[in-house]
Every structure is written in C-alpha cells, then in structure tokens.
Amino acid sequence: MRKIIVGSRRSKLALTQTNWFIDQLKAAGAPFEFEVKEIVTKGDKILDVMLSKVGGKGLFVKEIQQALFDKEIDFAVHSMKDMPAVLPEGLTIGCIPPRVDPRDAFISKDHIKFMDLPVGAVVGTSSLRRSSQLLLLRPDLEIKWIRGNIDTRLKKMQDGEYDAILLAAAGLKRMGWSEDVVTEYMSIEDCIPAVGQGALSIECRSEDEELLAELAKVSDPKTWKEVDAERTFLSEMDGSCQVPIAGFAESVGDEVELTGYIASPDAKQVFKKTIRGKDAIAVGKEVATALQAEGASEVIEKVKAEMDA
C-alpha cells in the first residue's frame, strides 16, 4: 500500500484540519497509509510584525510548496484563505472539501455585543479587511494589531490587552471552541469574509494522478465553484495584502453570486459589487472589472506607490 506523506503546519488548527481531512479520505476508502509531517513556515516564525508588511499570504505556503516539489510530502492541507491566488507550475489544488461557516466571529470580554461596545473600545485584528469593515460600522473604535494562533489571541484578550477580537468562525468551529467563546457572528453583509474563508485547499503535484483520483472523491463541487469565483476576483484585482479586500460567493441553484469589496486603508473610499451568473470564472472577472471601473484600481495603485516610496 502506498504511504502518503501529508504536510501540515504545526499549529493546533493546521493539525486538526489535516487529521480531519485524512479521516475523510480513509472513510472514502482511499487505498493509502498516511503519515503527517510537520513543517514550520516563515509565517509561523515571524509573529511580531504585521503580516501584510512582510509578504502576506505566501509566507504560510512557500516552504510547504517546496516540500511538495522535493517530494518530501505528497499533499498538504491549507486554509484556502492562506493560499496565494496563483499556484506555481507543477502544483495543483486536488480537492476542496465542503466549506464550513465562512463568517467572522466576534469575541468580547463579558460578551458585550459589537454594536454595544463602549466608545473607543480596543478591538484586536491584524486583517485590513476586518478593520476596514468594522470602522465603517463603528468609526469610534480603536483597532490594535494582534498576531498569533487562535489560542494565543484568545488569551491576549482575556489578559486585558483588547476589549474584543475577531476570528474566523471556521477555525473556532473546527477546534470545537466556538460554543464557549463566540459572542456573536458578524453578518456576511456587515463583514464580508476573506476570499476562501472557511474552505480548505488540498495541494499536490499536478502529475500525481493516483492521488488526484482519490482526492476527487471527497471534493465538493459547490464549494469549488464558489472558491473559483472568489479567487478569480482576487487574482484579477492584484490587490496584494496591503489593501482591504474581501470576496464571498454563494451558489444559488446552478448560479453563483459573488460580492467583491475593496476599500482604501482609511475606509474613506469603499467599492462593493454583487454579480450573479452561471460561470464562476466569468463572474469573478466581472466583479473585478466593475470595481476597477468604479475606481478601485486607483486605490490599489496609490497603496502600492506608498509601499515603494
């Protein structure tokens, strides 16, 4: 029996997701043995800097992709949200399992609801997407950067550094922690999720046909279509991590409805568009084109120019 080496980051969430996925493959009768190999990525080591300033998403996947090329591992389970929009030649997404809750969870001391937070309350997030949308609802709040794994962030809030934090509902639910800690879930409309939030991405070598055939059996076409629309939008916007960007798609019958969001970092300029259609890729492109036409491109160019200055 072929032994499949599965690459995983070392965080509790990454290992939980990896083991969950291996169980899905086993349940579907995949004729493999499995071994998990932990990989510490640059994103896991650099904890003291704002993520968007040091290279963004790629930080969590580069070493894992190298391990795939080097055949040290056969596949890796990533949070779709951490995947760059474009994969290197030779690697492919072999499976997208059914998505779990895509929303952001709001977690506060004494379970004070988001809109009931006192003026000037300190909210921890390191996501420009989250802070931009929160400030639209509550311009009086103070956003303070926070890094670390889910449990580190929860502890930092309990220790009093923050009045509240936001975390992806998906991560909390996968860990089985949502019941205990979540104060409320932000609505999709108020806080449009990150592209791919709540979905997993199984990455493997494009030529590994034996593995690809087994991965296909546990893939979810509905989630795949939604993620296709979102990631097309992301790559078309060429947003990088410096610009608040959100994208969320939902299947409606045989169509997919995508909302794209781009804002200036101070949230003074906000661009938002929803388009529905049968072809996920086309919908992703249409939303990007519509936002660019409204002026989102200028916002992105301005941020890039400031970065280079």
Ligand X SMILES: NCc1[nH]cc(CCC(=O)O)c1CC(=O)O
d(CA 78, CA 47) in angstroms, rounded, equals 19
CB of 180 to ligand X, least distance (A): 16
Nearer to ligand X, 103 or 225 (CB): 103
CB 181 within 8 A of CB 166: no
Q: Does position 171 bind ligand X by CB under 6 A?
A: yes
Interacting residues of 53 by C-beta distance below 8 A, sequence separation 6+: none
Q: Residue 61 or 275: which CB sits closer to ligand X?
A: 61
- Which residues are designated catalytic? 82
Stretches 166-174, 207-215, 243-251, 264-272: which one binds ligand X (CB under 6 A)?
Answer: 166-174
Counting runs of H as helices and runs of E as strands, what totals does the chain give?
A: 11, 13
Site string for ligand X, 184-203 (x = CB under 6 A): -------------xx-----
Is 198 or 244 the residue whose CB approaches ligand X more closely? 198
Closest CA to 223 of 192, 200, 189: 200
Q: Which residue's CB is nearer to ligand X, number 22 or number 170?
A: 170
Instruction: Please tell me the count of residues contacting ligand X according to CB under 6 A.
Output: 9
Find the shortest distance in angstroms from Cβ 8 to ligand X. 13
255, 266 in Cβ contact below 8 A?
no
Residue 243 DSSP one-character state: S
Over the window 71 to 90, marking each residue x when it contacts ligand X by CB under 6 A and - when it does not, the resulting string is: --------x-xx--------
Task: Report if residue 124 touches ligand X, rule: CB under 6 A.
Answer: no
Instruction: Give the span between the Cα atoms of 103 and 13, in whole angstroms.
Output: 17
Under rule CB under 6 A, residue 247 binds ligand X? no
User: At what angle are helices 296-308 and 280-294 packed, to 10 degrees?
Assistant: 80
- Please report, as ranges, the residues that interact with ligand X according to CB under 6 A: 79, 81-82, 167-168, 170-171, 197-198
